[in-house]
Structure 1
Amino acid sequence: MPTFEIAGPGPDGDYCVVRSDTLGDVTHYATLPTSYDTAAEAQKAADAYNADPASAPKV
């Protein structure tokens, strides 16, 4: 099952949500395409995706 966390701030001062999938001993990371102005906005999105992973955008 994927987990979603925030990352940032990036060079432009924005934040993003990162999806992590662990298969055995290997973890794959993918940055979702939407950026957020604040860490709080990104965390709200990550929390929503963790509650319902099917609602996350496909990467």
Structure 2
Amino acid sequence: MSDAAAAGEGDDYAALRTMIAQRNLEALRMQSERLGAAAPDTLARQIAEWEQADPGAPA
């Protein structure tokens, strides 16, 4: 496999990981909104950690 092909696969993999992380973050946000005040602190912390790890994630 050429270096260019390997780099392309890496880009695809990174894009897929980003997409999955963004979907997971959105699911956590929705779950947190549904739970409201009953949402566990760990859920809020997880959302904050993911947002900090990926500042480009949609709000």
Q: TM-score scaled by structure 2?
A: 0.34
The structure that is strand-richer by fraction is 1
Of Structure 1 and Structure 2, which has the larger fraction of its residues in helix?
Answer: 2
